[in-house]
Structure 1
Amino acid sequence: MAVIPDIAPTTRTDLLHDLRDSVDGLADELVARIVSAEQDYADASLLTPEQLRSACRDNLASMLANLDGTAPVRLESARAAGRMKAEQGVSLAALLHAFRLGGRLIWEELTARSDGHASQWLLDMAAQVWALVDVYSDAAADAYREAADTRAREDAEASRRLVRTLFANHALNPAGVADAVRAFRIPERGAFLVVSVGDSASCPSADVLRSGLRGVGIESVWDTEVDGRIGLLWASSESALESALEAALGEIGAGPVGVSRGFGRPGGIGEAVEQARQSRRCALDGAGVATRYDSVPVPLLVIRQPDAGQLAARQVLGPLLALPADEQHNLLTTLEAWFAARGSTTAAAAKLHYHRNTVLYRLRRIQDLTGRDFSDPVHAAELYVGLCAHRLLGAGRE
């Protein structure tokens, strides 16, 4: 059997130099193969054909220079390709496939230009080509991951800035607010609410809240505050928003929840944020219970005028607040239940699990201490204001 002679050294050198001289044509061919084989490259709207060709040419030229012995392994082009593909949204798998396609192209060209002689030199060159492809692929992959991590951090930080802008004073940064509205795809018209959620061990993360609300037809954006979370919620209609919100309240957690008035355009966000925060300050703890801004006029008045509220609590409840803690707690809890029951001693007793006579006794005790007659509407109103101020502000506590 005849042995095919090895390619002469000068022929090897000429062959590799000829490949290097053809690098522009090879780059064009490689671009065509990559785009045909990888949909990621065809779909990447940010990656231009010129950028792809430049990356292909640079890496082919670098690899061929190493193969012909005129240059050491230089991985700058591979790293640059990895960074660019991460920034342009091309997947890592597609990037690595492109390097394999480049290695295959080099090998096919070497085989074709050696007239098909399966010489030992050509077999050795195959090993060098694929080893070099591995080295370049690894460098590109490392640069890709670093760039992807950096981009993720930057995107997360940019998202946080947009969220903060959305819930901040809109008059201070109208352009930033417009950017945030576009970024979160908030419609120009719709049914909107802002919800303020008090912090508690059971309060879900912003991602969980957003996912849960989306499951009942509500889109949302959430921000974390020192004492809880604030969220913008929207849906196609007021009825859809209200019904979905009611269904989702139980998932929000055990802390107090305040809800703003509804509004129809993103321009109402700033005012609604303050309304939701104030409503939450008027709320009592309890899962699935929300305090609506329009439903608590007296508590809102108290928290907006805290000095006057504290004064009212001292003037109305003064002697009661001087009692020992246990007795004070019992009387105030009974007073609160009586107001919640709309003046029904029977309903208040049922709520507290007391005998009705116990409730009557405690109400008479409150009347004796404060000098306020429950049958007098003015006196009853004063007791309600004093109770609200004490509950919300801690007024009169020693």
Structure 2
Amino acid sequence: MERIIEEIREDLSRRIAVAADRLADRTLTEDPVYAALLGRAELRERIHHHLRQAVEGLVRSSRGLPVELADARAVGELRARQGLPLASLLRTYRRGGRLLWQSLTEAVTAHDRAALPRLLPGATALWDVLDQMTDAVSEAYRRTEAAHGDRDRERRSALLDVLFDGTDGTDGTDGTDGPSAAAAEAAAAQLGLPERGRFAVVVLASDGSPAPAGPPAGPGGAASAPRVLWRIRADGEIALIELGHHPLESVRELLAPLGVRAGVSPVVGAPAELARAHRLAALALRTAPDSEGPRTALLDERLPAALVAAEAELAARLRQVVLGPVLALPAEDRRTLLTTLGTWLACQGSTTYAAQRLYCHRNTVSNRLRRLEQLTGRSLSDPRHVVELALAHSAVLQRGTEQAATRPAAPDPRVSPTPAGRARRSPRRPA
């Protein structure tokens, strides 16, 4: 093979130059991405160089030497950094290989048609060389793309941290032109978020299960769903949701397939307000006890419970002052009375509906509530006392969730007790 190539080298060089011209013109005509990245002269030179490298690789292969692949790797890295699709790059390489074989056969035919049979064994060697070069290009491209993707993910995480952990303009700035506001606006711009819009923050409960990849698209498909940017940390998961025209309540449907507890902030209108929204979302999550199972808690719908969650010292005092005698009962009695109170409150003070939900007689509920009144000294007919009992009950539930978070997980994390004491399966798929 080396001897044949030496015999036709001059003619082959001319034909390769023509092939490079043809392939450059075809590539620029058919592939707009290439046309946007490279001018004709540069592309033609790269193709010409690739074809010459392939010929030299064929010669080296015939001598038992390894093919030089450094240039192919450099091209793969360069094109990945430029953002050229790998499919476009490989298509040009494949077309170049076919043109090279055509140029070889034409040059040999012009030199000595009788020598064509001597060229055929070189076909396998040529395609092996081209395969090695293509593999080197692909490997370098993918390696560079992966590294670039890692950097992009790290960069996005850092930008989200600026938004979630920064200040909200209440520390002496006016929220619009202070250093923290400027940093938030810069981070938002790099994330492609508008300066003004409708944003919310979601905080998921950390229950030791594998982190979700993010919520699925909404009912209208990915194009109509709110944009969601996830930040996964060691202590939990946070999402920034760009709501657009969607109502805040749509977040429930968005998160439902995840089967986890979540807290949702109120809507905010600017990136500088997202740090405050993050804190409020975390507060909303604390109002959704484990006993209620997977639930999306919107802060504005749970403000009384949020007040309790925001003041740990006062919540502890509230538990003791209002429900201290109940908490001092044996575990079974305590659980029964607290469950009955919680169910009665959830049923808007209806003893009948509470009895249906608890699967017991109405008189049984009435007797439990009277005992609760006697123990606490509060009357369920006094609105002020009902408020105290409701807040104290919320404080008890939140305290139970905090204690559960510090205990080892149960053997089967998919099973959780309901207020009525029955077992219910979580919709989250087992890990």
Report the secondary structure of 1:186's partner residue: coil
- What TM-score do you get using the length of structure 1 for normalisation? 0.78
- Confirm or deny: 8 A CA contact 1:259 1:290 kept in the other structure: yes
CA contact (8 A) 2:262 2:297 kept: yes
Query: CA shift at 1:366, angstroms?
Result: 2.0
**8 Å CA contact 1:82, 1:143 repeated in 2:** yes
- 2:318 paired with 1:323: no
| Aligned position for 1:85 | 79
8 A contact 1:206–1:223 mirrored in 2: no
Aligned residues: 381
1:370 equivalenced with 2:376 (yes/no): yes
The answer on 1:35 being equivalent to 2:43 is no
Question: Where do 5+ consecutive residues of structure 2 fail to align?
Answer: 169-178, 404-431
Q: Which amino acid aligns with 1:229?
A: E
Change (3 A) 1:236 1:153: closer
The aligned residue for residue 213 of structure 2 is 206
Write the letter of the residue equivalent to 1:272: A
**TM alignment of 1:285-304, pairs within 5 A:** 285=290, 286=292, 289-304=295-310
Amino acid of the structure 1 residue aligned with 2:54: M
> 1:236 is matched with which residue: 208, 226, 244?
244
1:256 aligns with 2:261: yes
Match of 1:5 in 2: none
Partner residue in 2 for 1:59 = 50
Contact 2:58 2:126 in 1 (8 A): yes
**Which string of whole-angstrom CA distances, capped at 9 and with x for unpartnered residues, describes residues 323-342 of structure 1?**
11000111111222233333
Structure 1, gaps ≥5 residues long: 1-8
Candidates 269, 273, 276, aligned match of 2:274 = 269
Deviation at 1:121, TM superposition (A): 6.3
Match of 2:119 among 111, 124, 128: 124
Select the residue among 280, 290, 294 that pairs with 2:285.
280
Letter in 1 for 2:27: I
Specify the code of the residue in structure 1 equivalent to 2:346: A
Is 1:192 aligned with 2:195? no
Moved more, 170-179 or 346-355: 170-179
Q: Deviations over 1:115-154 (max 9, x none)?
A: 3632326842753544432332233233333334333444
Q: Partner of 2:247: helix, strand, or coil?
A: helix
Corresponding residue for residue 416 of structure 2: none
Mapped to 1, the partners of 2:95 and 2:263 lie a distance apart of: 59
Kindly provide the CA deviation profile for residues 32-84 of structure 1, in whole angstroms up to 9, marking residues without a partner as x. 24334555533xx4455565345324323333445567996322112222233
2:169 is equivalent to residue 169 of structure 1: no
Distance change in 2, residues 1:294/1:54 (3 Å)? same
Q: Deviations over 1:155-179 (max 9, x none)?
A: 4444444444443325687676445
Q: Contact between 1:331 and 1:366, CA under 8 Å: does it hold in 2?
A: yes
Aligned to 2:415: none
In the TM superposition, what are the counterparts of 1:68-83 in structure 2 within 5 Å?
Answer: 73-83=67-77
Q: Per-residue displacement from partner, 1:289-347 (whole Å, max 9, x unpaired)?
A: 53322233332222222112112211222222111100011111122223333333333
State the match for 1:6 in structure 2. none
Specify the SS of the correspondent of 1:206. coil
Q: Cα deviation per residue 1:358-383 (whole Å; 9 max; x = unaligned)?
A: 22222222222223333444443333
Cα distance in 2 for partners of 1:132, 1:33 equals 24
Please tell me whether the aligned partners of residues 16 and 64 of structure 1 are also in contact (alpha carbons under 8 angstroms): no
Match status 1:13 vs 2:20: no
The 3 A distance-change label for structure 1 pair 145 and 373 is closer
User: Which residue is 2:409 aligned to?
Assistant: none
- Structure-2 separation of matches of 1:322 and 1:36: 83
Give distance in 1, aligned partners of 2:190 and 2:166.
18
Q: Do the aligned partners of 1:34 and 1:98 also contact (CA within 8 Å) in 2?
A: yes
Contact 2:163 2:271 in 1 (8 A): no
SS of equivalent residue, structure 2 residue 113? coil
| Inter-partner Cα distance in structure 2 for 1:140 and 1:15 | 28
Work out whether residues 162 and 176 of structure 1, in 8 Å CA contact, stay in contact via their aligned partners in 2: no
My pick for the range that moved more, 272-281 or 68-77, is 68-77
Q: Deviations over 1:246-276 (max 9, x none)?
A: 54454342x3332211223333222111111
For 2:87 and 2:118, locate their aligned partners in 1 and report how far apart those are by CA, in whole Å: 28
- 1:134 and 1:200 map into 2 onto residues whose CA distance is 49
Sort the Cα spacing of 1:179 and 1:76 in 2 relative to 1 into closer, same or farther, 3 A. farther
Q: Map residues 115-154 of structure 1 onto 2, 5 A cutoff.
A: 115=110, 117-120=112-115, 123-124=118-119, 127=123, 129-154=126-151
The corresponding residue for 1:343 is 349
For the 8 Å contact 2:289–2:397, the answer to whether it is kept is: no
Amino acid at match of 1:118: R
1:349-360 superposed matches below 5 A: 349-360=355-366
Q: C-alpha distance in 1, partners of 2:6/2:348?
A: 100
Aligned partner of 2:97 in structure 1 is: 103
CA contact (8 A) 1:252 1:287 kept: no
Q: Secondary structure at the match of 1:372?
A: coil
Q: What amino acid maps onto 2:25 in structure 1?
A: A
Structure 1 residues 106-115 or 307-316, which shifts more? 106-115
Note the C-alpha offset of 1:182. 3.8
Tell me the amino acid that sits aligned with residue 82 of structure 2: Q
2-structure distance, mates of 1:283, 1:117: 86
